[in-house]
Amino acid sequence: MLEMIGSKVLVTEAAQESTTAGGIILQGAVSKAAKPALILAVGPEATHLKAGDRVFLKWPEAMPVDVDNKSAAIIDMAHILAVHNV
């Protein structure tokens, strides 16, 4: 795993599921809503965030990286807009 520095945060796109009124789960359904992310690692200055948090962020500001053959992105904490507490 990468170790983040400063206020940098390592995220991956969180899986989204949409459920119809009849209870059918549609994975990867097209939505106008922002795509959530799952935090994998945080730098020491990324206060109020921890690995495992689901967040909404400015995806265009993220730098794509490949970590352990999986897609991820590094973003500054300033571009994280909200933490989604379930």
Per-residue pLDDT of the chain (86 residues; tens, 9 = 90+): 789 999 999 999 987 656 666 766 666 555 556 789 999 999 999 989 999 999 999 999 999 999 999 999 999 999 999 998 76
| Cα end-to-end span (Å), the chain | 25
Report the pLDDT value the prediction gives residue 14, as an integer from 0 to 100. Answer: 87
> Residue 37 and residue 75: Cα distance in Å, rounded?
11
Pairing of strands 25-27, 17-19: antiparallel
Contacts of 51 (CB under 8 A, 6+ apart): 39, 40, 41, 42
pTM of the model: 0.79
Architecture of domain 8-84: Roll (2.30)
